[in-house]
Amino acid sequence: MPEMPEVETLRRDLEKEVVGKKIKAVEVTGARAVRRHKDPSEVGARLEGRKITGVTRKGKYLLVSLDPAPGPSGEKHTDVLVVHLGMSGQLLRARSAKEPLAKHTHVVITFSQGGQLRFVDPRTFGEMFVTAEDEVEKAVPELAHLGFDPLEQVMSWNRFGEMLRVRHAKLKPLLMDQQFMAGIGNIYADEILWAAGLRYDRPSDSLSSQEVRRLYRSLVETLQDAIKHRGSSLADEQYRDLFGEVGDFQSQHKVYDREGQPCRRCRNPIVRVKSQGRSTFLCEQCQV
């Protein structure tokens, strides 16, 4: 599943490529992709003729803002196109409608200025829907309870340490808890913990001041580095950026999916263990 670095990479690309463009037509061929709408044609009715004014991110959700439109009573209202990629979703920019459609393309947004934005999702866990700007958190309740965003919200390591201490939880599940911190999944939790030299099962209230600093620094630096490399595409290459290219951060992974390979720090072999039903990769020599 795409995590924060992949979604943030898409957000930055969308900001450059589609903001300011007017939506000419919307074609929905996969009703499950717009399942929140009783009638798939409602998506087109709410998007066509609207201009994209901005793209933001909340956790792993993309929020595409539209220019205000008159409501039934004549008053202006602002809508948002909400996109969640699920397990295998892709947003792809096509320069021309003549470009061949990828298999499993479920929604095609055509712009007045030319070109298209296409939503592709082989496993159909992802979705798109349009809602009023002030109804987003009602539509997606988890967004109202997201924890801090380490890319958007800078905090002191003292504050971060306090948050760790009061939770008394194992580190990896805590990093992946969306109510503690938004956007981190299995891949980046493993990479962050390796960079910090900490085990996945260390209690969060057992860290020294130095370990807290190390964890916070590793958290921010790992995410920033992943975005610089345009995210991680695993063996299935299901994550693609806006231009259909795979990410490159998987070549920089220190532990994730490297079972049996030497640790890049101490040369001990990376091991894989099962924790809460998930694979966890770590170096048992240099993560304590």
Q: Which residues are catalytic?
A: 2-3, 60, 278
Sign of CA dihedral 172, 151, 255, 3: positive
Nearest Cα to Cα of residue 3 among 265, 207, 182: 182
- Nearest CA-CA partner of 108 in 34, 43, 26: 26
User: Hey, what are 260's tokens?
Assistant: 């049996």
Pair of tokens at residue 67: 């220019």
Residue 280 zone, left/alpha/beta (φ > 0; ψ -120 to 50; rest): beta
Q: Give Dmax (Cα) for the chain.
A: 68
Helix then strand then coil, in percent of the chain rounded to 5, is 30, 25, 45
Burial of 145 (0-12, 13-18, 19+ CB in 10 A): exposed
Tokens of 246: 């795979």
Residues in the chain: 288
Distances (CA, A) of 186 to 97, 177, 189, 196: 36, 11, 5, 16
